[in-house]
Every structure is written in C-alpha cells, then in structure tokens.
Structure 1
Amino acid sequence: MKAIILALVVIGAAYISAQGEPWCRCALFVSSSHAEWMVYELPEVPITDCESHNQCKNRCTNEFNEMTNEMDLWSTFDNSTVGQYICENLYSNFIFFIHNSYVHAYYEMCGGPWEYTGLDSQQMLCCDRGQHKHCIS
C-alpha cells in the first residue's frame, strides 16, 4: 500500500513539474460558517520552481502588505478604499451583504491547495449592497 501511495506522489510531482513555468497566485478570502469566498485576487508573483513554498508565501505577503497598506481595509487605493474594492467584487458576484468578517490572505502555488499566509485584515469587513461600511457590532 505504501508503494502505491509513493508512486502516486511521484507521478503527481512529475505531472506538476511538467506543466511548464512555475506560478504563484495571491488572493484575499472571507470565511463564513457556511462558505469561503475569494474576494479579491492580486496579480501573480514570479517564483523559481514549484517547490518554493516559502518564496511564494513571502512574495504574496509582500504584495498583500504593499497593495493593502498592511491589510488596512480603510486605506485608500486609486481614490477608493481597499474594502470598497472587495465589496464591489462581492456585489458583482451576487454576495450583497457581509457583516463583521475578517479578510484572510492566502497563496496558491502551481495548482496546489490554497495556503494561509498568516495575515488577516486589521478591521472587520462590512459590505451593504456593494458599499464598504463601518462595522457596528
């Protein structure tokens, strides 16, 4: 049985490495008790190979901190807040209300699973029909 599992792991690794250039995706997610929503995807970051988890995680962490001002939802970016961009994206995907939810930063490398970077938004996110609002407990 162990030999079969090892063979599948080797075949899977060979398949991933044969897919071409390595890539790393960075995205923000909001969790609820029933769902996980990708609320914003940032530009891909370059990595050297599909074994460089720390490289992908660190580059995404830097991109999150740069583009969101250290995960500050009220920071302005192109005349709008980071939270407003997220709320508009949610609204365009038919998610009209979010109340008191933190935004979490994840990365995905070469088609693998999404992995948590350890970053969360400084504030909770509240959206009302596409508008970023201050959260009231």
Structure 2
Amino acid sequence: MICYLALALMVAMATAQHDMPCECAVFIDIDGQEVLVTDLPTLYVNYCDQHGPCDNHCSAEFDILTYGGDLNFVTEYGTVGQILCSLVGLPVENEFVHVYSNLCNTTWEDTGDTTFQPLCCDSDVSYYECVVETTLEPVTVSLEPSP
C-alpha cells in the first residue's frame, strides 16, 4: 500500500512541475499608463524562477507574430500596425509597443522587446506611418588627440 501511495505522490509531483504559467502580452503607453493590447501564447514552465526562458518565449512569440516588431509587415489579416490599431481601438500618436512577461501570476515585467517603429492610429483606428522627428542635438567630434 505504501508503494502505491509513494508512486501516486511521485506521479503527482512530476505532472505538477509543468503548471507554472509564463504569460506574455503586448502593452502600449496611453496617457502615461501601460494598456494591455493583446495576450500572446502562454508557456508552462517547471519553476517560478525561470525568468530567462519565460522572457525568451515571450520575445519569440512577439517576433513570430510581428516579424521582429515591424509594424509594416503584411500578414494575411493586414499590416501588424493595422492589427494593433484595431486591438487598441483608440487614436495613438508615436507610441512604441512593448512586450511583457508575467511568470507565475506575479507582476508584468518588460522584456525589453519593442516595435521598430512607433505606432500611430487615427481617430478611425486606422494605422499610418508616424512622422518621426529627431530631437537630438548634433554632436561635434574633435579629431585632435587629447593631451
């Protein structure tokens, strides 16, 4: 009887090790708040300390669905930018889309992945390419050796 109980306990432990969710989602900043745009496929991991594999999974899912974060990539449903505008459902002006992960139902953490271009959606939630202006000052470089 003890052998059956031990076997049942080992089976339960082995199957329970893959229940830890690594959730992935795409967020955008609207009026200073991160707003959920859409969820990405979830990965189930063995332990809640597997941040690296979780972030890598979220990054890979984002790359697959957006062709590396290119808003102008054309899918069978339209451009990535148009799909995101439709999901946001609001006008958006020059905001980058970010990927977040959430391991074991804790807090959302930015994976560092973002779109190549900022997202712009008009009042009809139609995507258009943002006019990106640089605000950086020119840098003067001296070619003379320093003393």
For the aligned pair, the TM-score class normalised by the smaller chain equals 0.7 to 0.9
Partner of 1:31: 29
Cα displacement string for residues 1-32 of structure 1 (whole angstroms, at most 9, x for unaligned residues):
xxxxxxxxxxxxxxxxx9x8211111111114
Tell me how far 1:64 sits from its aligned partner.
Answer: 1.1
Select the structure with the greater relative contact order (CA < 8 A; seq sep ≥ 6). Answer: 1
Higher helix share: 1
Tell me how far 1:33 sits from its aligned partner.
Answer: 4.7
Are residues 1:133 and 2:128 paired? yes
Can you give the 5+ residue segments of structure 2 that lack an aligned partner in the other structure? 1-15, 133-147
Q: How does 1:5-84 map to 2 (within 5 A)?
A: 21-84=19-82
Are residues 1:121 and 2:121 paired? no
Cα displacement string for residues 82-125 of structure 1 (whole angstroms, at most 9, x for unaligned residues):
1111111111xxxx210011111111111111111111110010
Radius of gyration: which is bigger? 2
- In the alignment, residue 124 of structure 1 is paired with which amino acid? P
Partner of 1:110: 104
Tell me the distance in 2 between the aligned counterparts of 1:46 and 1:72.
Answer: 27
TM-score, reference length from structure 2 = 0.71
Tell me the distance in 2 between the aligned counterparts of 1:115 and 1:84.
Answer: 25
The alignment-based identity, stated in percent, is: 34
Q: Say how many residue pairs are matched.
A: 115
Can you give the 5+ residue segments of structure 1 that lack an aligned partner in the other structure? 1-17
- In the alignment, residue 131 of structure 1 is paired with which amino acid? S
Runs (4 or more) in structure 1 with deviation over 6 Å come to: none
Tell me the distance in 1 between the aligned counterparts of 2:109 and 2:71.
Answer: 21
Question: What SS does the corresponding residue of 2:98 show, helix, strand or coil?
Answer: strand
Question: What SS does the corresponding residue of 2:62 show, helix, strand or coil?
Answer: helix
TM-score, reference length from structure 1 = 0.76
2:85/2:125 contact within 8 Å kept: yes
Tell me the distance in 1 between the aligned counterparts of 2:80 and 2:44.
Answer: 23
